[in-house]
Homo-oligomer: A and B are copies of this chain.
Amino acid sequence: MTQSTPKACLLCGMYYDTRNLCAKMTSDELCEMNANSQVLKVKRGKILSDDLLDHWPIVAVSSGVLSLKHLLSDGRRVIAALFMRGDILDLRTASSRKAGYLAALSNTSLCLLSPPVFDTVLTNNPRARIVAWEGLNAQAFSAINHASDLAKKQALEKLASFIFECRHRTSKKQRNLVEIPIRRRDLADYLGMQPETVSRSFKELETQGILKVTDLSTVQILLLPVLRRIADGDRVAQIADRDSGPQFKIVVADG
């Protein structure tokens, strides 16, 4: 018997995201999943308890920003990864649970998935299996790219890179108006810098006329090619710009 799609799913962003597991599930599967899952709203700053994750080790992010935080022994805080809409976390293995703790960086909606139903869907629905695989693969490569950003890039470069990361997620229409979905302090922990340095880097990009900080959660990109080159680690771009003024930037950007 075919059941109709659950109302909760019709109201959820993941259902309409064609690259997402939920969009590939049949109505029956969605009903089965929905009946055995748990929707959870998490306020900014709240942490998912170990107890909760023991019962619900598979977490799908439907809106907001979830983070994986580490705390070094002497108190330094690190945000090792960000998870946004459509990301699915499988914390059933020991290694993933040791990684740190999950904290919401903004008000967040989660869907706690039933492991058996999740496995059943992946077994029976090849299209669902493929998008889940692709999603996890994308997470792995995104973590790898982030590691690469942290390895050798300078503060300005890391920030530029992060802005492109955010831009990648915004709608096609307003590609030059980028939303920064997390606070400065968290951004610092994610990029391996101090809040002071984040602040100074934003200011530097603004002084160079590369972008405009509308408010704390929005930036407008003014010189996109220059920002691109900084993000890609072209230190000549930075120095040249600082010395020769804006007209030169445009020439090089064309070439």
Contacts and interface: CB of A to CB of B under 8 A. Distances in A.
Interface of A: 68, 70, 72-74, 76-81, 90, 93, 95-96, 99-100, 119, 122-123, 126, 129-130, 133-134, 136-148, 150-153, 189-192, 229, 232-237
Contact of A122 (B129, B141, B144): B129
Contacts of A237: 73
Contact of A143 (B90, B95, B100, B144): B144
A146 B147 contact: yes
Contact of A138 (B79, B95, B229, B235): B95
Contacts of A153: 72
Nearest to A153: B72
A97 to B, nearest CB: 9
Which 8 interchain pairs have the tightest Cβ spacing? Answer: A72-B233, A151-B192, A73-B234, A143-B143, A80-B148, A150-B150, A140-B140, A147-B147
Contact of A233 (B76, B79, B134, B138): B76
Contacts of A190: 151
A151 B150 CA distance: 6
A156 to B, nearest CB: 13
Nearest to A138: B95
A72 B234 contact: yes
